């Protein structure tokens, strides 16, 4: 009897020291880290995965957001500012010590700064680059050992702005163009370790990014009045102000991320747009850029050769064997 009580006490003591979780977890329950999960797309992704039985470490910066996330079954809030290496390191320690490993990482945290490239100051430019480019770099580098150990998945949230760009959107588009190259190179590196990398490229979906961009302009007392491109700035700011009303259902993006992380044969890219118009803009611009590169250069291809290349690319995506 005494021996039984001792064993029970030892067991209870060990359990008290375990990290807090909202639901019983099994050894094969896949764990996912989502950055920028306090609101918008990240919050929907975290809730969608948790509802489907996955355990989600939801990155957030504020106490209030962390407390809210901790009330959701299968979600544990983790303090994570992608600009803070100390918080990234602490998150690695927390997740490692939890003992369930880490199957997948979703680099979602992002911000938008709308300014002409000839006017934006270095503080805004650094802020844009630090979150959207250095953020995925910092977080992925830190968590790569855990992902490699589990032969898991990495999903990077890009944008159709990685193909499209226009006046005042240059700083934001630069970061999303960067994610195109980052995802390609990272996928090539990680395949050696059995890790799959996918880039999810959403169009205009409801998130907090527009609201946050306007709030930052207000905090910095920035207006469009002094801009040399005032008309373009007014149009962009007006669009951001109405973004939440006009954008698509973010669950579509969460569904794409689920496919990227858990399908048997994930795609390297997921273009997810709420309207045919946005798909047309994106694909036609990609084709136009190809035509611009091919035009009047030493080794230009004629129309027949280009169509043959296109047919081969389409066949590859459909899994057909090209003769």
Catalytic positions are: 172
Is beta strand 55-60 parallel, antiparallel or unpaired with respect to 31-34? Answer: parallel
Q: How far is CA 36 from CA 107, 121, 138, 207, in A?
A: 8, 25, 14, 11
- 101 conformational bin, left if phi > 0, alpha if psi -120 to 50, beta if neither: left
Decide: 250 and 207 in contact? Cβ < 8 Å.
yes
SS3 per-residue string spanning 20-46: CCCCCCCCCCCEEEECCCCCHHHHHHH
Contacts of 59 (CB under 8 A, 6+ apart): 33, 34, 35, 36, 37, 38, 42, 78, 79, 80, 82, 91, 109
- Residue 169 tokens, joined: 């959107």
């Amino acid at each position: 009897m005494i021996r039984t009580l001792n064993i029970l006490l030892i067991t209870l003591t060990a359990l008290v020291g375990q990290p807090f979780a909202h639901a019983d977890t099994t050894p094969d329950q896949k764990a996912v880290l989502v950055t920028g999960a306090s609101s918008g797309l990240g919050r929907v992704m975290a809730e969608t995965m948790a509802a489907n039985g996955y355990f989600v470490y939801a990155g957030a910066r504020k106490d209030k957001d962390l407390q809210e996330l901790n009330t959701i079954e299968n979600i544990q809030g983790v303090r994570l500012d992608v600009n803070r290496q100390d918080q990234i390191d602490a998150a690695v320690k927390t997740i490692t010590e939890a003992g369930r490993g880490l199957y997948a990482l979703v680099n979602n945290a992002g911000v938008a700064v709308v300014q002409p490239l000839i006017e934006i100051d270095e503080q805004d430019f650094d802020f844009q680059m630090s979150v959207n480019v250095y953020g995925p770099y910092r977080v992925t580098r830190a968590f790569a050992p855990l992902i490699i150990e589990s032969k898991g998945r990495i999903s990077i949230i890009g944008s159709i702005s990685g193909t499209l760009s226009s006046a005042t959107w240059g700083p934001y588009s630069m970061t999303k163009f960067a994610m195109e190259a980052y995802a390609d190179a990272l996928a090539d590196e990680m395949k050696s370790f059995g890790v799959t990398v996918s880039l999810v490229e959403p169009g205009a979906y409801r998130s907090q990014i527009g609201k946050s961009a306007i709030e930052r302009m207000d905090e910095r007392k920035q207006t469009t009045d002094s801009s040399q491109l005032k008309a373009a700035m007014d149009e962009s700011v007006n669009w951001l102000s109405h973004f939440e009303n006009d954008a698509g259902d973010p669950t579509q993006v969460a569904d794409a991320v689920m496919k990227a992380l858990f399908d048997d044969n994930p795609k390297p890219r997921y273009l997810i747009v709420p309207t045919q118009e946005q798909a047309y803009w994106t694909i036609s611009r990609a084709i136009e850029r190809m035509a611009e590169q091919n035009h009047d250069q030493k080794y230009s291809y004629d129309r027949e050769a280009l169509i043959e290349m296109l047919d081969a690319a389409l066949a590859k995506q459909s899994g057909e064997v090209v003769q």
